[in-house]
Amino acid sequence: MIRAILPTWSRWLAVMLASMLTAIALAGCNPEHFKTKAAQVPELVFTAPSAPQTFNLTQNQSAYSVFGYITEGLITENGLTGAVEPALAESWTISPDKLRIVFTLRPGLKWSDGAPLTVDDVMFSYRDVYFNEKIPTDLRDGLRIGTSRTLPTVKQLDQRRVEFTVPEPFAPFLRFVGGLPILPAHTLQKSVQTIGPDGNPEFISTWDAGTDVRKIISNGPYQMVSYAPNQRVIFRRNPYYWRKDAQGNPQPYIDRIVLQIIESTDNQLISFRSGQLDDLDVKSEAFGLLKQEEKRGRFKIYNGGPESTTTFVTFNLNQARDFNNHPFVDPIKSRWFNNVAFRQAVAYAINRQSMVNNIFRGLATLQNSPIYLNNPYYLSPEKGLKVYNYNPEKAIATLLGAGFKYNSQGQLLDADGNRVEFTMLVKAGEKNRVDMAIQVQQDLARIGIKADLQQLAFNIVLPRLLQRRWECYVGKFGGSGIDPNSSSNVWMSTGGSHEFNQGPQPGAPPIKGWEVSDWEKEIDNLFIEGARELDEAKRKKIYDKFQQVAQAQVPFIHLVNPLTFEAVRDRVQGVKFSTLTGSAFWNLYELKVTQD
């Protein structure tokens, strides 16, 4: 999965919980086996399909992380309405020219270790980390403004107020800038100031996946207390979390969260049905079975509509070489992948309706855009969006028109007689995605293309993507926010998650000969223009053009949008299911549980 950066950390929390709470532990990992008498406290047991990549927020590239539980920003978003609401900042003001915004912190804020959370932490987070070019992070991609890609400036006004200034109006400013988590200066500042043997700040390697989680300071509703690698993370309530209910009682109410780690969706279903989990992302193949069991199993299935995610096939378009002058992609294959006719032909060859009917049992819709169907910025085919409905004859004609040819065995060859064959990566364990990859493999075989399917654990797939050592990938972006700028880290050519043509990255080994195509530059300009424009109708037209360019060039061949179904135990009280985020746990801080 390639992670898209979202416009606020609250939405990230909601979507992350919706995606992390998708799998269930193996029977041998029954939480009752490690629940002592002393630990008989209100708890929820969730699971993630992959272990955390890191505990350093800025270095994370995975959607499967812990940050939704332990981090908080200046502002948040309401999971039901999408409205911006106060978080660590109790209020904010925006200047009439839209170039300055002042946040006022709540009084008496504290970190999970009891230390005061102050304006110093806000200044440290932005000035020393997010705006620090020496610290590589794709979080910074969404902060860059205009053609100069300038970052905002920040200054302290007094003991509770900070002021941000931007060089020009920036539509995503409040939601994205204000939503980034605040980091603890008292524990991390020294690591930013200390330069390691590699010439980079030690902060980059601080709080990695091997860190004792008890040393990681939180300002979110929970703090980590233990981590068994590739098994589970245990959280307990942060006693210094700022939220209180109307009666002045501290929130969250639930004392403990257990996050089990397992990849197999089959085992998720088995364990949920045996009562070991409080939540399950219901896959289409299990929907009919679980729907019959709702009453007896004491759970409710919520329908969230189409996922705000993106499933796709993508090719590595990178024509650069590593520091040893070795190409990341075989030059012969690179010529195929960088031929837009080749990508369009592959798009026409994939029978997406068959995926809807057979893999998802009809519980999905075709996906035709990088912006999801329910988003107000979505451009429909009726309004001018190019689509690639299944048409193998057109796929073959497109390939022949681009200079490809067939041998007597029906195998596709390029103009030089090379067999068209490549390796297609997919994350193992997620049945639907693997099934989609298998169908793609079969569909391509029908037009003479050989795709060698390679199923790997996500913690192996991700480094390959980041190191540019891949050819084709069947992937999925996590849920993105309403504002298209939330995916600027994916679509801007300089973005940290521009995986299909990843450029040089700060602190990483240099690469040689990286090229940016004209259409990538056009998308760059559209994102800059869209962020600058404050008139929503004009912004819509800009992002309409972006979708048209993206669909014409198909760096991502979009597949299907599954419908979201989430099963939640009846013991969970206060659920306000959000169709906006597709999550029952966006308001985790105010949920309660009844003891079985």
CB neighbours of 53 closer than 8 A, spacing ≥ 6? 59, 60, 61, 62, 64, 65, 209, 459, 462
* 215-243 per-residue burial string, b: 16 or more CB within 10 A, e: under 16: ebbbbbbbbbeebeeeebbbbbbbebbbe
- pLDDT for residue 11 is more than 50: no
Half-sphere exposure of 127 (CA within 13 A, CB side): 17
* 154-186 per-residue burial string, b: 16 or more CB within 10 A, e: under 16: beeeeebbbebebeeebbbbbbbbbbbbbbbbb
Report residue 561 as tokens. Answer: 């949008």
Calculate the average pLDDT of the chain.
89
Concatenating the DSSP letter of every residue in 355-396 gives: IIIIISTT-EEE--SSS-TTSTTPPPGGGT-------HHHHH
CA-based Rg of the chain, rounded to a whole angstrom? 24
Cα separation, 596 vs 593, in Å, equals 9
Q: Are residues 68 and 282 in contact, defined by beta-carbon separation less than 8 angstroms?
A: no
CB neighbours of 590 closer than 8 A, spacing ≥ 6? 245, 251, 252, 253, 574
* 344-371 per-residue burial string, b: 16 or more CB within 10 A, e: under 16: bbbbbbbbbeebbeebbeebbbbbbbbb
Q: In this predicted model, what pLDDT tens digit does every residue of 169-184 receive, in sequence order?
A: 999 888 888 889 999 9
Examine residue 555 and say whether the peptide bond preceding it is cis (omega within 30 degrees of 0).
no
Cα separation, 272 vs 28, in Å, equals 13
CB neighbours of 538 closer than 8 A, spacing ≥ 6? none
Res. 249 pLDDT band, cuts 50 70 90? very high
Q: Give the C-alpha distances (Å, rounded to integers) separating 7 from 72, 84, 140, 180, 581.
A: 14, 11, 12, 9, 13
CB neighbours of 354 closer than 8 A, spacing ≥ 6? 390, 439
Give all domains of the chain, ordered by start, each with its CATH number.
Answer: 310-562 (3.10.105.10)
Any bridge partners for residue 13, and if so which? Answer: none
DSSP code of residue 22: T
Report residue 444 as tokens. Answer: 């391509």
Q: How many CB atoms lie within 10 A of CB 383?
A: 10
Could you identify the residue written with the tokens 């039901």?
A: 80
Q: Are residues 170 and 532 in contact, defined by beta-carbon separation less than 8 angstroms?
A: yes
Query: What is the pLDDT, as a whole number, of residue 34?
Result: 40
Q: How many CB atoms lie within 10 A of CB 296?
A: 7
Q: In this predicted model, what pLDDT tens digit does every residue of 65-110 receive, in sequence order?
A: 899 999 999 999 898 888 899 999 999 999 999 999 999 999 999 9
Res. 274 pLDDT band, cuts 50 70 90? very high
Helix (H, G, I), strand (E, B) or coil at 422: strand
Cα separation, 233 vs 213, in Å, equals 9
Q: How far does the chain reach from its first CA to its final CA, in angstroms?
A: 36
Q: In this predicted model, what pLDDT tens digit does every residue of 305-326 receive, in sequence order?
A: 888 888 999 999 999 999 999 9
- pLDDT for residue 287 is more than 80: yes
Q: In this predicted model, what pLDDT tens digit does every residue of 474-516 receive, in sequence order?
A: 998 876 678 898 888 899 998 888 999 999 987 788 999 999 9
Report residue 440 as tokens. Answer: 């793609």
Q: Which residue would you say has higher pLDDT here, 263 or 440? A: 440
Cα separation, 99 vs 286, in Å, equals 50
Q: Are residues 196 and 25 in contact, defined by beta-carbon separation less than 8 angstroms?
A: no
Cα separation, 221 vs 233, in Å, equals 15
Q: Are residues 348 and 392 in contact, defined by beta-carbon separation less than 8 angstroms?
A: yes
Query: What is the pLDDT, as a whole number, of residue 319?
Result: 97
CB neighbours of 66 closer than 8 A, spacing ≥ 6? 52, 55, 224, 233, 235, 259
Q: Determine the residue type at 485.
A: N
Res. 553 pLDDT band, cuts 50 70 90? very high
Any bridge partners for residue 314, and if so which? Answer: 473, 556
Query: What is the pLDDT, as a whole number, of residue 479?
Result: 63
Helix (H, G, I), strand (E, B) or coil at 94: strand
Helix (H, G, I), strand (E, B) or coil at 493: coil
- pLDDT for residue 259 is more than 70: yes
Query: What is the pLDDT, as a whole number, of residue 261?
Result: 87
Q: What is the pTM of this model?
A: 0.76
Q: Which residue would you say has higher pLDDT here, 458 or 106? A: 106
Q: In this predicted model, what pLDDT tens digit does every residue of 557-581 receive, in sequence order?
A: 999 999 989 999 999 999 999 877 7
Cα separation, 335 vs 339, in Å, equals 6
Q: Determine the residue type at 391.
A: N
Residue from 539, 541, 493 nearest 170 by CA: 539
Query: What is the pLDDT, as a whole number, of residue 14?
Result: 39
Cα separation, 334 vs 319, in Å, equals 7
- pLDDT for residue 434 is more than 50: yes
Residue from 273, 411, 286, 395 nearest 341 by CA: 395
- pLDDT for residue 39 is more than 80: no
Query: What is the pLDDT, as a whole number, of residue 27?
Result: 32
Report residue 127 as tokens. Answer: 């000035």
Cα separation, 478 vs 62, in Å, equals 9
Query: What is the pLDDT, as a whole number, of residue 40?
Result: 65
CA–chain centroid gap for 73, Å, is 18
Residue from 418, 412, 415, 414 nearest 396 by CA: 412
Could you identify the residue written with the tokens 């939180």?
A: 218
Cα separation, 27 vs 279, in Å, equals 16
**Environment class of residue 321 by beta-carbon count within 10 Å: exposed (0-12), middle (13-18) or buried (19+)?**
middle
DSSP code of residue 124: I
Res. 596 pLDDT band, cuts 50 70 90? low
